[in-house]
């Protein structure tokens, strides 16, 4: 059973962005599985690093498409992306110092943030595309 189940309700009706969102969901589920089985900290950190790298790629794609469409709230959207990245980095730093509650907090944050961001913020730019 997936930790974060993709639903068509998450679709922003832009194929490239939907595919990237699905991949982010897959990465979060993979990280959850590794944490559940009690993986070594170095494996968890490597997966988190991959997740952050892909997130940066995804954010750049979204922002490029929004800029091309002259999306009026691009600056605010960029700020939300930056805030999410900073929070994940903060949680990752805390995870490096141990503690399962940090892992639970991190997984909850990733799932909730992505879900809310897609359904709220990302869906606002659909008419612009």
Averaged pLDDT for residues 88-115:
76
- Statement: the pTM of the whole predicted model exceeds 0.75: yes
Higher-confidence position of 82 and 41: 82
| Full 3-state SS string of the chain | CCCCCCCHHHCCCCHHHHHHHHHHHHHHHHHHHHHHCCCCHHHHHHHHHHHHHHHHHHHHHHHHHHHHCCCCCHHHHHHHHHHHHHHHHHHHHHHHCCCHHHHHHHHHHHHHHHHHHHHHHHHHHHHHC
| Residue 69: pLDDT over 60 | yes
Averaged pLDDT for residues 63-77:
91
């Amino acid at each position: 059973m997936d930790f974060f189940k993709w639903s068509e309700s998450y679709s922003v009706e832009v194929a490239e962005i939907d595919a990237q969102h699905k991949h982010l969901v897959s990465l979060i589920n993979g990280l959850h599985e590794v944490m559940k089985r009690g993986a070594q900290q170095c494996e968890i950190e490597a997966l988190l690093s991959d997740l952050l790298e892909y997130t940066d790629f995804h954010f750049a794609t979204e922002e490029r498409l929004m800029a091309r469409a002259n999306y009026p709230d691009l600056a605010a959207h960029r700020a939300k992306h930056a805030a999410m990245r900073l929070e994940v980095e903060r949680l990752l730093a805390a995870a490096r110092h141990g503690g399962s509650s940090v892992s639970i907090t991190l997984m909850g944050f990733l799932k909730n943030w992505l879900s809310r961001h897609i359904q709220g913020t990302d869906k606002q730019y659909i008419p612009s595309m």
